[in-house]
Amino acid sequence: MQPLPRADWALFLDIDGTLIEHADHPEGVEIPEYLPDLLTVLQTSLGGAVALVSGRSIDWMDHRLAPARLPAAGQHGAEIRLAPDAPSVPIPTPKWRKPLEQTLEREMAAWPGVYIEHKPLSLAVHYRAVPESGDEIMAKVVEASARIGGEVEFLKGRFVVELRQSGHDKGTAVDTLMGSAIFTGRKPVFLGDDVTDEDGFRAARAVGGLAIAVGPRPTTQADFRLATPEDVRKWLGDIPQALERVPS
């Protein structure tokens, strides 16, 4: 059963595995042609209260989802844009970022097929090509980070290990966006598919909102579940018409 849309909702949308299907390489994802228009219509229907909350950078979102432009949190909350016409505000570049990048490039060369995604404020080690080595890769990443030092936080997702500055996550992103003019007073609804979305689930539910899990990954926080990104897109596409039928 799916939740009935409400005009006072604020939607927070993960991207990979939620709005779009995963790909073997993070730059190999396909964006459905109709998705930017879908997001723009949805944004209008909810008074602008639709945000992207992703491990992707905000620049990536703007480029790949153009002409749609939404409030956004990028790199797991390390950068925030409170409104479509507002600037993106990033945290300072962590001191550990460059030396750890160089160390991981050397260490991960032992596993052909492992790809290190270089984000401005974080790193992501993708091992979808060698999933059987996930535990060994994770251990090596933690060991390398300990040698470098710094307040590094690890997130193990679906065939990926994310390294980011501690203190920022999708939950803090939701809290920040909910305090802005577009979102204040609304009911947050967070859609996500991976362990990195659990913080967003918690933040939404803590203030009376909803958590909608996507895909089969177990979670104790989901109020509802959608099976695939295609199902997510269909459900989101139905919201504007559904809201027109809601008595004012």
Domain boundary among 165, 180, 202: 165
The residues carrying an active-site annotation are 14
Residues 217 and 102 in one domain: no
Residues 189 and 225 in one domain: yes
Residues 87 and 13 in one domain: yes
Predicted TM-score of the model (pTM): 0.82
pLDDT reading at 1 higher than 80: no
Task: Give percent of the chain above pLDDT 90.
Answer: 69
CATH of the domain at 205: 3.40.50.1000
Structural domain including 151 reads: 97-165
pLDDT reading at 214 higher than 80: yes
Average pLDDT, the chain: 92
pLDDT at 240: 96
Residues 85 and 208 in one domain: yes
Per-residue pLDDT tens over the stretch 233-244? 999 999 999 998
53 within domain boundaries: yes
1 within domain boundaries: no
pLDDT at 248: 53
The answer to which of 50-64, 105-119, 218-232 has the lowest mean pLDDT is 105-119
Residues 182 and 123 in one domain: no
Q: 39: pLDDT confidence band, cut at 50, 70 and 90?
A: very high
More confident residue, 98 or 225: 225
Domains in the chain, number: 2
Residues 87 and 172 in one domain: yes
152 within domain boundaries: yes
Please spell the DSSP secondary structure of the chain, one letter per residue. Answer: --PPP-TTEEEEE--BTTTB---SSGGG----TTHHHHHHHHHHHTTT-EEEE-SS-HHHHHHHSTT----EEETTTTEEESSTTSPPEEPPPPTTHHHHHHHHHHHGGGSTT-EEEE-SS-EEEE-TT-GGGHHHHHHHHHHHHHHH-S-EEEEEETTEEEEEETT--HHHHHHHHHTSTTTTTSEEEEEE-SGGGHHHHHHHHHTT-EEEEESS---S--SEEESSHHHHHHHHHHHHHHHHTS--
3 within domain boundaries: no
Residues 87 and 127 in one domain: no
pLDDT at 73: 97
Mean pLDDT across 71-79 = 93
Residues 68 and 25 in one domain: yes
pLDDT at 156: 82
Mean pLDDT across 132-148 = 90
CATH of the domain at 132: 3.90.1070.10
Mean pLDDT across 127-153 = 88
129 within domain boundaries: yes
Per-residue pLDDT tens over the stretch 103-134? 999 999 989 889 998 887 788 999 999 999 99
Residues 86 and 209 in one domain: yes
Residues 194 and 239 in one domain: yes
218 within domain boundaries: yes
Domain boundary among 165, 191, 211: 165
pLDDT at 148: 80
Per-residue pLDDT tens over the stretch 159-196? 899 888 888 899 999 999 999 999 999 999 999 999 88
Contacts of 79 (CB under 8 A, 6+ apart): 57, 58, 73, 88, 89, 90, 91, 120, 121
**HSE-up of residue 165 (Cα within 13 Å, Cβ side):** 19
Mean pLDDT across 191-211 = 96
pLDDT reading at 51 higher than 80: yes
More confident residue, 150 or 206: 206
Residues 103 and 49 in one domain: no
Residues 16 and 37 in one domain: yes
